[in-house]
A and B are shown apart, each in its own frame.
Chain A
């Protein structure tokens, strides 16, 4: 079983740092918030100052508090939706790839249909029919988002499963009489770990975008705070056109940062799966210490990692 060892390139470390930071913020954000995000105790539209780091809204709410409190709902929905969607794609993708035949045809058709329907319009239609009480429930929204986001992962996992289906270790498990579900989920699934991780990152990324978008057009409850509702209120009060950048820029930057972090982590996974991409991740200094030319040449397979110094010294001394 392969364990997922990400290459320690600056890209991956940066990604880890960003994602870690926001996960911590999810947990502690609401406790750190200096004010109640809904309280309208302050003057309206104050610019950023030491009292209000990001100023106040037109209702006199502290924007920094909204940002901190909103992190939790945004991240929780993204994680719930990402996990459920990855689980769905795992079950459907691996079953389709391993079982083959009619079940494969049916499941592939299902995922192709979901891939072809544009996700956001479908989400909007489903969401607009939801009763208002369900719209403010993060878990309901997360589940609906996952419903529109699993198909791509299922397709990738199906292809990977088909390439593993006839390997010896799967044959061996079949011969000693393991059940099909056991073969699929304890023999095959662990070998798909990099693909699963990559698909989790993508669905979380998709879910943040989808949730924020829904909130931005006012389809989630506008009374619960997340980064999308912040943008909704900013837009509703014409903040972008009246130069109140401190109102709508911070939530957007946060969304983009989380997304960048996830995408950078995914580069690491890509380089793990396809080592040819890895040489591109070496910094100029590492490249020099490996004795590589400044640019990789054609025909050279650049699957290299910087060796630790000690190992090289041992070679010299022996």
Chain B
């Protein structure tokens, strides 16, 4: 229980750091980008709108820094992330439309990648020294390719040349979004290629980690014992793999951040209507409220995912529970 509380405290602190980074950065940078932005907009928008923009950065008039920080935190607490400059809509409502796509895409790919990587890693570790070892440099190569580049190549080969998969977007234009089967089928069909490219880029990490743990585990006495008892090979592998998978699960919370970073750009390549695509637009247009809102939402989502991964680990490995009690 203490362990859980400590993790929650850590993630709360991290969330606070992310929030504060958002507050401090616009004020810290030379030339104050917000002022520049307002300068650019003068004449195009009414003074009231400029006031709204300033307020959305917490830069009210005639206020001290602390008071500005207070206003900023208060707005955040009410779910107010400011107003997007280019899209003219509240950032929170823009994000509400795009976050589910990202969470779905990245969530599914992470789970698939973890399962495939761990399973093949266990087999590779068990049969080390066999010809399957030649898979390792190949996997490493795929791991070293930037996610977005692999996505681009896949799109080129399997999308626009072979026409095996639909390209661009998250669902066909012929279906109406909603809880009907045609829409869900279309979403799955359009999601296949992005998911495959994210899985290909991220699977090697799981595979290599699992392989190395498995090799270490094979030297342990309990595996030798299992073989000596004459258990079937499949059961021995299962026996060893159950212990070997623990570090992978412990790493899950770290890996989520990395996968999210890589996968955001995959959305961009496939024109997927998620947060990554939005982020690019925001960066190109210097839409600071939107950039900050996206950063905050991504960070909070990753932290929540981390917490879940930690809880799973805690439930699976009794040792962490007893260590926490010490």
Which residues of A are in contact with B by a Cβ distance under 8 Å? 11, 14, 109, 112-113, 115-122, 124-126, 128-131, 152, 205, 209, 212-213, 216-219, 231, 235, 240-241, 243, 245, 248-249, 252, 255-260, 262-264, 267, 270, 274, 276-277, 279-280, 282, 287, 294-296, 298-299, 301
Contacts and interface: CB of A to CB of B under 8 A. Distances in A.
17 contacts: A116-B257, A118-B299, A118-B302, A120-B264, A124-B279, A128-B288, A131-B29, A131-B31, A217-B268, A243-B156, A256-B144, A256-B146, A263-B144, A274-B216, A279-B128, A279-B129, A280-B133
Interface residues of B, number: 71
Contacts of A126: 25
A220 to B, nearest CB: 12
Given A118-B299, A213-B148, A256-B144, 9 more contacts: A118-B257, A125-B21, A125-B291, A212-B146, A241-B156, A270-B212, A280-B128, A280-B133, A298-B223
B306 A276 contact: no
A299 B222 CA distance: 10
Interface string B122-156: 00000111100100110011011110110011011
A119 B258 contact: yes
Q: Pick the 3 closest A-B CB pairs, nearest first.
A: A259-B144, A120-B261, A252-B149
B25 A298 contact: no
A73 to B, nearest CB: 16
A234 B262 CA distance: 19
Interface in B189-242: 212, 215-216, 218-219, 223-224, 227
Nearest to A151: B254
A241 B160 contact: yes
B145 A256 contact: yes
B295 A122 contact: yes
Contact of B283 (A217, A257, A264, A279): A217
Contacts of B298: 118, 121
A69 B298 CA distance: 35
Nearest to A262: B144
B91 interface: no
B64 interface: no
Contacts of B29: 129-131
B30 interface: yes
B280 to A, nearest CB: 5
B56 interface: no
B10 to A, nearest CB: 6
A211 to B, nearest CB: 10
Contact of A294 (B17, B129, B143, B145): B129
A124 B295 contact: yes
A216 B261 CA distance: 14
Contact of A240 (B21, B155, B215): B155
B265 A119 contact: no
A120 B294 CA distance: 12
